[in-house]
């Protein structure tokens, strides 16, 4: 799917600093394969150094998982196709393959990998699997872990291991693939991943409704409860607010679902715009995955969908203080806040208190608040406290895969 890589083998000095974008490390290495990576890990283990695994480097500090490292190891040179069988809807690629390159190649076969986490447009395949974040398509197609069949990676001991396989049905046993998906490189540095694919839907249609925030939120909740499988039900809380409903499938299925959405009593009170079809619908949602790209302040609040109105209230309080924007994934109960540039002076002074209060409200309804992005000088707890039991399990797993702590990422503890 790609030609020979022209990336350097190592960056140092200012070049490394520019690539790292503020992440605390001195060098960036680009190993060409698992064996070369294993040598780097083995040498780091012998010297007592820490390495931070990465793809394109866009999520190095996401969600508070990063620790200072002596060097970053990027998988970007591992960007070739290992195995692709269109008839079986399975694919194995190097972890460093760009998501855009993967999508272009799959389009030629009428197939797609329906994963849409924030930032996917600038990510690598391995980065998506390692981060384990999902977007709106999760409701219809499952989370990232539901679409990963196998993982190849290097442990903190410098061993090259392969988990799972290349087929949808694997033998029973411990599901280490699901364990590693979303582990952020804390257990193994991923070098290749095997994925399940889907046929590209014949019809891709997005319905757009606008109105006041309360009406749009009620409309989104009503659509999410309908007996139709919408690929996405999102709300942008601007002025006016907008309800965005994505429907995919055959023309008959999509037309029937669209009629049901329009017939819902709440949506009937909203102003509907012309629907967006086909390639324009796909492009709209691809742009939406980049909603928070390059923004210095990003907070994600999540709880059960039944608590969406409260979650939105929490998020809007932060957005009002930061002069930011809010968007919500209705079916998942996830609400995101973004703010660009320098915060207003009063907001910057009270940021820590604001985040702590918001996190307390989310945790009171068994939800979470994660500071996904913040300037390095901001002294914020990126995520909430981890229970002692969970922390003990995480520590045991870390010792099993990386006993000397060579791999810098770790699950956040506060």
Are residues 102 and 190 both part of a single domain? yes
- Range 251-270 average pLDDT: 94
Continuous H helices in 186-307 = 213-225, 251-263, 278-289
- The answer to whether position 267 is within a domain reads yes
- CATH for 226: 3.30.70.1710
The answer on 174 and 95 residing in a single domain is yes
pTM of the model: 0.92
Over range 111-128, report the average pLDDT. Answer: 94
- Is 94:191 a contact under the CB 8 Å cutoff? yes
Residue located via tokens 């990422």 = 409
Please give the pLDDT value at position 60: 84
Hey, what are 136's tokens? Answer: 């709106």
Least confident of 80-89, 185-194, 357-366, 379-388: 379-388
| Residue 167 pLDDT greater than 80, yes or no | no
Q: Is 292 helix (H, G, I), strand (E, B) or coil?
A: coil
How far apart are alpha carbons 147 and 87 in whole angstroms?
17
List the CATH number of the domain containing 316: 3.30.70
Whether 404 has a pLDDT exceeding 80, the answer reads: yes
Average pLDDT, the chain: 92
Residue at a domain's end among 51, 74, 97 = 74
Measured in degrees and rounded to the nearest 5, phi and psi for residue 76 equal: -60, -25
381 pLDDT higher than 90: no
Task: Work out the average pLDDT over 259-286.
Answer: 94
- Per-residue pLDDT band for 374 (boundaries 50, 70, 90) equals confident
- Angle CA(148)–CA(150)–CA(155) in degrees, nearest 5? 115
In three-state form (DSSP H/G/I as H, E/B as E, the rest C), the secondary structure along 140-183 is HHCCHHHHEEEEEEEECCCCEEEEECCCCCCCCCCCHHHHHCCC
Task: Kindly report each contact of residues 361-367 with a partner whose C-beta sits within 8 Å and lies 24 or more positions away, as own/partner.
Answer: 361/310, 361/314, 362/301, 362/302, 362/303, 362/311, 362/314, 365/303, 365/304, 365/307, 365/310, 366/303, 366/304, 367/301, 367/302, 367/303, 367/304, 367/307, 367/311, 367/333
State the CATH number of the domain containing residue 60: 3.30.43
> Which residue among 144, 173, 199 closes a domain?
199
122 and 222 within one domain: no
The CA dihedral of 42, 409, 388, 163, to the nearest 10 degrees, is -60
pLDDT at 172 over 70: no
pLDDT at 201 over 70: yes
User: Quick one: average pLDDT of 382-395?
Assistant: 87
Q: Does residue 127 lie in a domain region?
A: yes
pLDDT value of residue 3: 46
Q: Please say if the pLDDT value at position 5 is more than 80.
A: no
- Asked whether residue 320 carries a pLDDT value surpassing 60, the answer given is yes
**Count of alpha carbons within 13 Å of 44, Cβ hemisphere only?**
30
Assigned token pair, 58: 């866009």
In a domain? residue 404: no
Does the pLDDT value for residue 215 go beyond 50?
A: yes
Show which of 56, 74, 92 is a domain's final residue.
Answer: 74
Mean pLDDT of 255-268: 94
- The values of phi and psi at residue 367, to 5°, are -105, -170
Strands 71-74 and 27-29: parallel
Residue 19, CA distances (Å) to 29, 58, 74, 286 in order: 11, 9, 11, 24
CB 224 within 8 A of CB 233: yes
Residue 175 maps to a domain: yes
Domain that holds residue 54: 10-74
- 182 & 216 share domain: no
Same domain, 313 and 211: no
Query: What pLDDT is recorded for position 400?
Result: 95
Q: Quick one: 89 and 179 in the same domain?
A: yes
d(CA 12, CA 353): 38
Task: Measure Cα distances from 125 to 53, 82, 114, 133, 354 in Å.
Answer: 13, 13, 12, 12, 35
Give the residue with greater pLDDT, 161 vs 266: 161
pLDDT at 170: 54
For residue 316, being part of any structural domain is answered with yes
Share of the chain above pLDDT 70, in %: 95
Query: How sure is the predictor about 355, in pLDDT bands with cuts at 50, 70 and 90?
Result: very high
pLDDT of residue 4: 45
In a domain, 394, yes or no: no
The residue among 155 and 391 whose pLDDT is bigger is: 155
Q: Is the dihedral of CA 179, 180, 184, 187 positive or negative?
A: positive
Q: How far apart are CA 321 and CA 327, in angstroms?
A: 16
What DSSP string describes 360-373? HHHHHTT-EEEEEE
Number of domains in the chain: 4
Q: Which residue from 267, 269, 249 is spatially nearest to 259, judged by alpha carbons? A: 267
- pLDDT tens string 129-164: 999 999 999 999 999 999 999 999 999 999 999 999
């Amino acid at each position: 799917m790609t030609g020979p890589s022209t990336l350097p083998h190592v960056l140092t000095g200012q070049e490394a600093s520019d690539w790292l974008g503020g992440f605390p490390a001195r060098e960036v290495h680009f190993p060409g394969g698992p064996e070369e990576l294993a040598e780097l890990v083995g040498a780091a283990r012998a010297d007592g150094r820490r390495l931070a695994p990465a793809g394109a480097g866009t999520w190095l500090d996401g969600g508070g998982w990063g620790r200072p490292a002596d060097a970053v190891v990027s998988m970007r040179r591992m960007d070739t196709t290992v195995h692709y069988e269109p008839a079986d809807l399975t694919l194995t690629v190097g972890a460093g393959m760009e998501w855009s390159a993967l999508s272009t190649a799959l389009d030629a076969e009428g197939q797609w990998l329906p994963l849409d986490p924030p930032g996917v447009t600038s990510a690598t395949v391995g980065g998506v699997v390692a981060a384990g974040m999902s977007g709106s398509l999760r409701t219809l197609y499952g989370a990232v872990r539901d679409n990963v069949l196998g993982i190849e990676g290097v442990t903190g001991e410098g061993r090259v291991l392969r988990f799972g396989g290349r087929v949808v049905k694997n033998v029973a046993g411990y599901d280490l693939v699901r364990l590693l998906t979303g582990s952020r490189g804390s257990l193994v540095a991923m070098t290749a991943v095997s994925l399940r694919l889907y046929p590209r839907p014949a019809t891709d249609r997005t319905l757009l409704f606008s109105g006041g925030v309360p009406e749009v939120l009620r409309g989104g909740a009503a659509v999410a409860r309908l007996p139709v499988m919408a690929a996405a039900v999102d709300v942008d809380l601007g002025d006016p607010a907008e309800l965005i409903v994505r429907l995919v499938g055959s023309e008959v299925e999509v037309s029937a679902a669209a009629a049901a959405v329009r017939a819902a009593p709440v949506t009937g009170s909203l102003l509907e715009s012309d629907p967006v079809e086909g390639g324009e619908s796909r492009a709209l949602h691809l742009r939406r995955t980049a909603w928070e790209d390059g923004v210095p302040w990003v907070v994600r609040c999540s709880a059960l969908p039944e608590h969406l109105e409260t979650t939105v209230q929490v998020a809007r309080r932060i957005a009002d203080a930061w002069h930011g924007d809010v968007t919500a994934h209705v079916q998942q109960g996830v609400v995101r806040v973004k703010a660009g540039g320098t915060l207003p002076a009063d907001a910057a002074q009270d940021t820590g208190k604001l985040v702590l209060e918001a996190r307390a409200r989310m945790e009171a309804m068994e939800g979470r608040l994660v500071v996904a992005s913040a300037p390095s000088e901001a002294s914020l707890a990126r995520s909430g406290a981890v229970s002692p039991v969970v922390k003990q399990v995480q520590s045991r797993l870390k010792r099993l895969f990386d006993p000397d702590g060579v791999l810098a990422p770790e699950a956040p503890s506060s």
